[in-house]
Amino acid sequence: MSVLEARALTYRTEDRPLVEDASFRLEPGELTMLIGPNGSGKSTLLRLALGLLAPDAGEALIDGANVRRLSPTARARKAAYLPQTRPLAWPMPVRDVIALGRFAYGAAPGRLSAEDAAAVERAIAACRLAGFEDRAADTLSGGELARVHLARALAAETPLLVADEPVAALDPRYQHEVAQLFAAAAHAGRAVLTVVHDLTLAARYADRLIWMRDGRIVADGSVAETMTAERLADVFGIDAEIAHSGSRVSLTVTGPAR
Amino acid sequence: MTIRANALLTVALIGAILLALLLGSVPLSPLRVVSALGLQGNPGDILVVWQIRMPRALAAAVVGAALGMSGAALQGLLRNPLAEPGILGVSATAALFATFVLFFGLAGAGPLILPLAAIAGALAATLVVAIAALRTRSAVTLILVGIGLSSFSAALMALLMNLAPNPFTLADMINWTLGTVANRSFADLAYAAPFLAVGFGTLLAARRGLAALALGEEAAEGVGLDLKRQRLAVILGAGLATGAAVSLAGAIGFVGIVAPHLVRPFVGYDPARLLVPSALLGALVLVLADIGVRLLPTDSELRLGVVAALIGAPIFVWIAARGRLVE
């Protein structure tokens, strides 16, 4: 059974569809990246898939159960969600922020069961945050904060991890660090779905790409299968050169499509 | 850290209440106060300690606790350190309903009419805000609804004062707006107690969700928070507690903003662990301020709300100037 199955998800505002007839499946152990130009409906599709937004048509199933019928707690135990990062309301210490990932298990900062505390420690180790535990969140760099948010999501130890632009506005080094952490999380057995804007990063780390344009999924497959010059021109309106070396695909963007 | 802060504040609060029993316009030696507490000795002493000073000190304490905890909870919910019971229009509407009762001379019908009116006002305001909270997902909209409600109540209040039929009614109304715990009885406390208890209980039950909200509303939903239920619980809890507080003391400002700010660093900025120490500090501040009110040798006694604002407003400005207030 797929970890997540989206069936013909559709969501419209009054005048236009934001997501139209979107279907896909996520399998454990795969890092799937959702790419598409601004306004193509990526964030809306994530929220629909997680059941945070009610679709106008279609349904999303997590482990075979319709997400809209799961309680918030039951859903959060199946799927961890990293929305586009917003500043924390209060400068809480790193350990307390990560502890919030255990909320669905009844935990709270300063009130963790042995199991919760162990999960938090594993997440801290996985995101290489040892030594940062007592730092206030507002003293961290962007890259450190991105790792804290990822650790918070990993601490829930869910079979599914969904993230919306987790590497946006990070320096290249941090982008690659965070992307590697996502890849590691996937290869440890999770299904991971993340929106990414940087196409080179997507080509480098994704096991699978889902391409969106105008609210529709226009392609779904491995990087080698789907990353073509025609598709880049069609979806993103850019001219690019694609080079294959072994299983690795690299692209060079030469300019906007003529 | 949190446990130590709570213990320290509890000890300080008990000390302040004892101090409030010792001090007053009638000089009583500590020995006479202690024997009066045990219902021994001079009946006059017993009257002063049990009928005047004790209910007054306890009223100041519960009002401060209600405002402190409501402020902390609303700040956590709205992710805004400027939030307090006043901002949702709850205090203003409660005071308006009380003023309305005074204006039409209904307060004479029974001693409970005035408190009932204040609580009804708080619940009405709470209901309006709760409906808005369920219709919208935006904390900013919620604050704007509160500000609108607050301004409208203030305008109606000004209208009632403007049209006050005689100076006595006007004086009553002003008392209510300024805020005081003078002449409160155990009966007043008993009437407010159930509302306070339900308010405190609701807020404490909802406090874990406040910690999740530190991540932002979207991420809080992601970790498993039921956002609508959380908002409803905090608004009802804060509405009940604030309504009961206004029914006891009238409108008293700044406690709900200042108390949470001062204790926040001592609980690791955790909005959940903030509730209890904010309530304790709010109580401590108002009990001490009320002692000050009684000791100041002024011709007509200062109102507690005035003193609270005189102390609270500069602290508020000081905190704001340090830049911690605005995200």
What's B78's domain CATH number? 1.10.3470.10
Q: Is residue B126 predicted with pLDDT exceeding 90?
A: no
- Residue B326 inside a domain? The answer is no
pLDDT of the residue at B253: 82
CB B213 within 8 A of CB A89: yes
pLDDT of the residue at B325: 39
Q: What are phi and psi of B59, to 5 degrees?
A: -65, -45
In the CATH hierarchy, which top-level class contains the domain A4-256? alpha beta
pLDDT of the residue at A180: 94
Q: Which tens digits make up the pLDDT trace of B167-216? A: 887 887 787 788 888 888 998 899 889 989 999 999 999 999 999 999 98
**B320 — pLDDT class (breaks 50, 70, 90):** low
pLDDT of the residue at B323: 56
- What angle, rounded to 10 degrees, do the helices at B167-178 and B304-321 form? 40
Q: Which residues constitute the domain of residue B135?
A: 2-321
Residues of A with CB under 8 A from a CB of B: 50, 52, 71-73, 75-77, 80-83, 86-93, 96-97, 100-101, 103-104, 108-110, 136, 149, 152, 156
Asked if the interface predicted TM-score (ipTM) of this complex is over 0.95, the answer is no
For the ranges A32-41, A170-179, A204-213, B58-67, which has the lowest average pLDDT? A170-179
- Number of structural domains (chain B) is 1
Tokens encoding A35? 């790419």
CB B191 within 8 A of CB B115: yes
How far away is chain A from the Cα of B21, in angstroms, using its nearest Cα? 37
**In A, which residues are within 8 Å of B221 by CB distance?**
52, 72, 81
Domain definitions of chain A by residue range: 4-256
Distance CA(A165)–CA(B318), nearest Å, equals: 38
CB B286 within 8 A of CB B255: yes
Q: What's the distance, CA B322 to chain centroid?
A: 25
Neighbours of B91 (CB within 10 A): 30
CB contact under 8 Å between A86 and B225, yes or no, is no
Mean pLDDT value across chain B: 87
Which chain B residue lies closest to A75 (C-alpha atoms)?
Answer: B224
Q: If we measure between CA atoms, which residue out of B251, B242, B250, B282 comes closest to residue B125? A: B242
Q: Is residue A68 predicted with pLDDT exceeding 80?
A: yes
C-alpha separations of B122 from B139, B236, B251 in Å:
20, 10, 12
- Residue B327 inside a domain? The answer is no
Distance CA(B119)–CA(B42), nearest Å, equals: 38
* A–B interface: beta-carbon pairs under 8 A: 91
**A167 — pLDDT class (breaks 50, 70, 90):** confident
